[in-house]
Structure 1
């Protein structure tokens, strides 16, 4: 692996950098890490794995498995996330020791690592908006947020300028900005071929535009968390100085343990605190993150008056599926309905004025000719009732289900709708008929790869 000479020379002046150690680290296999779902991970899952020091739910794996053939991944028991980026969890817990009723925007959210982390962190009175402007990536984001299963985590697909029109709406904005990607050289050698000083400058200009467009949506006293997977100061410390020069933002320092290997840096002009991750100093990839607080500026715009569209009669159908009764049922496309937390309908009507809500709460299904037809989202919800008719699958059955292939009616299945589970974790729905079962896994969710059954089983 030949690292760009220009980058190595540029980093010589950065604290914590050692060209020889940095180069040697890029000859090593990168670590694999996961972050466990606080409600879905099986009991004792991960207890024999090394912990990520700055994230209680983070674990290192001894080697990278074939995640595609693990039903627990499909059911949302964990998310495969790079360990360095899990430092967001530590920052959140430092800045918000009691996160209550926050409105949070994850601006550049796909594929969903930081959004699933945020959803796990926030309380049920908080609202998370995960945005991804690129539509196909927004689809992947929506799937991952569905697996995570929270009804207060919504997905939109808009330009930052659209979100910036929501003056003072958000308490917290997270911007994991598109960047030149040098921090991922070890995981993706294609990033080396694509790296150049010119691309770094293009990315820095784009980062400035993104931040300039979205920051009006951050309320006075709210926090901005900015991150990249780039080593280049133009995309890191220099962006911090740009922010401090353009907006009334103050640095919010956090205390880190020396033995973690994280390098604390300060920007050259305004002294803003940032945190650098180098692969030769810790078990993780290249990463940079900073947190700033808005000292003055916008106060939140009032939410609009609205006529409720809560479908009271339809909600009776949902009570048998959802554990909590603190939800509203709103109409969606194609005769479907979606459950959102009670008390958030004003936010729903407000957001619709500015953004395209691609996923709102939990899509619970809709009425059929004879019965309610549950949606796949519902099977993965953390609020799903425990008393539902469920059928536990073994590994082979679970993978056949996830490949959307036929398999024999499982033991314990009864006629009608059944929630299929693996190790107690919901995977989706089947409907048992007299002589067959119908697999209701969405086609676009199915496993497409050929499985070597002798190896897997």
Structure 2
């Protein structure tokens, strides 16, 4: 890896005597880490080192072929760089009650799924991605995680201007020059330039201004990048304090973690550097918005929603048998249109129409079923939901080879002769649906999610849950 000369010159000036160790670390292999889904597995990993700043994070000794682990597709864990998991520590330290939370630049979903696990139960998470195809990848990962307290949107940051004082917490993991990804992504090295650093810095300020009004007075802003330079890090932190009037919130850390403090200025900042922390480059800082302005009641936003948006809420005709497909269904409201039925947490029954009227919503809650003729076919998202009522459908446990055939959307047979929709599982974890016809089964795994490789591992799965 040949580092750009302008990058090495700038970084040497920042790190001084530490620079040789830093550059050496950039030429070494990246650590591999995953984060478990506590709603799908309540155990840790056998023989693996825990990520110290994340309750459910673990380092792996080698990088397995995650694609061929059915538990990965079931949402039992997320493959996430360890430094990014610091968000878990920040959330658990500063957020103690249910909140309305925005992950503004969320794809592919690592920090969103982390927030869904770390936030107090009952929090609503809105995650957004401006690039459409990346937004659909984000929705896929949210569906696999299985938490219904989530809305996925596909919008520019400026769209959230109209939601004044709506969010209690906003994470801006902003687009950046990507220096922290150099040893994982050679393209990031090739695309780096000093001019791009400047462009990123200006774009970051624009994003912050776009969403600032959406944060409630007294609310928390978390700002992060995966880059090393101060233009996109400490200088932006100073900008948030001085131009936006926010108050820095310190984060208690353990000195043994090796987290670097701020390189310039006085705002408390947290830098993950590969020569002193076991992870990639990350910068994070936390602020509280001033309470000097009057809070606009959320009801004022919600009351502007037209009657047309609400006409099917709660009062829609949903077959009782479909309502029974989820546990605790009395805690959800149900909605339907000509082709589909979905459920959403009742405590946010006025929030979803608000987002449907102001943003491009591409996923929300639990999609339950879609109509095909006179039949209702269970949605794949229902199979992966942590609120699935597993007493309703017959199940069949699949061995590894059959599970991979299912995930490739190949044809296969079930052992049962019962004609019904079957929930297919692997090691007890739901993978999806098949409609058993007796002599064959219709594979209902989503076509766009299928494994495209025909490789089948011959060794046992390398990740061992306790």
Aligned to 1:181: 178
Aligned to 2:410: 405
Which residue among 431, 434, 451 is the counterpart of 1:430? 434
Kept after mapping to 2: 8 A contact 1:418/1:431? yes
Q: Decide whether aligned partners of structure 1 residues 300 and 121 sit closer, same or farther in structure 2, where only a CA change above 3 A counts.
A: farther
Matched ranges for 1:239-388 at <5 A: 239-265=236-262, 267-268=264-265, 271-296=266-291, 297=293, 299-303=295-299, 304-305=302-303, 307=310, 309-314=313-318, 316-325=320-329, 326-332=331-337, 335-387=339-391, 388=393
Aligned to 2:464: none
Taking the aligned partners of 1:397 and 1:16, their CA distance within structure 2 comes to 55
Matched ranges for 1:194-233 at <5 A: 194-233=191-230
| SS of residue paired to 1:209 | helix
Aligned to 1:50: 49
| SS of residue paired to 1:358 | strand
What TM-score comes out, normalization by structure 2 length?
0.92
Taking the aligned partners of 1:428 and 1:203, their CA distance within structure 2 comes to 41
| SS of residue paired to 1:91 | helix
Taking the aligned partners of 2:115 and 2:286, their CA distance within structure 1 comes to 15
Q: Decide whether aligned partners of structure 1 residues 372 and 193 sit closer, same or farther in structure 2, where only a CA change above 3 A counts.
A: same
| SS of residue paired to 1:430 | strand
| SS of residue paired to 2:223 | strand
Matched, 1:161 2:158: yes
Aligned to 1:115: 112
Aligned to 1:447: 451
Taking the aligned partners of 2:236 and 2:445, their CA distance within structure 1 comes to 44
Matched, 1:87 2:113: no
Q: Decide whether aligned partners of structure 1 residues 122 and 453 sit closer, same or farther in structure 2, where only a CA change above 3 A counts.
A: closer
Give per-residue Cα distances to partners, 1:190-235, cap 9 Å, x unaligned.
1111111011111111111111111110000000000000101000
**Unaligned runs of at least 5 residues, structure 2:** 462-466
Matched ranges for 1:134-173 at <5 A: 134-173=131-170
Kept after mapping to 2: 8 A contact 1:167/1:301? no
Give per-residue Cα distances to partners, 1:26-83, cap 9 Å, x unaligned.
2211110000001112x54413210001001000011111111110110000000000
| SS of residue paired to 2:298 | coil
Taking the aligned partners of 2:298 and 2:405, their CA distance within structure 1 comes to 50
**CA deviation after TM superposition for structure 1 residue 301, in Å:** 3.9
What TM-score comes out, normalization by structure 1 length?
0.94
Taking the aligned partners of 1:215 and 1:385, their CA distance within structure 2 comes to 40
**CA deviation after TM superposition for structure 1 residue 349, in Å:** 1.8
Taking the aligned partners of 1:425 and 1:148, their CA distance within structure 2 comes to 12
Q: Decide whether aligned partners of structure 1 residues 54 and 66 sit closer, same or farther in structure 2, where only a CA change above 3 A counts.
A: same
Kept after mapping to 1: 8 A contact 2:177/2:196? yes
Taking the aligned partners of 1:404 and 1:398, their CA distance within structure 2 comes to 10
Taking the aligned partners of 1:14 and 1:99, their CA distance within structure 2 comes to 39
Aligned to 1:99: 97
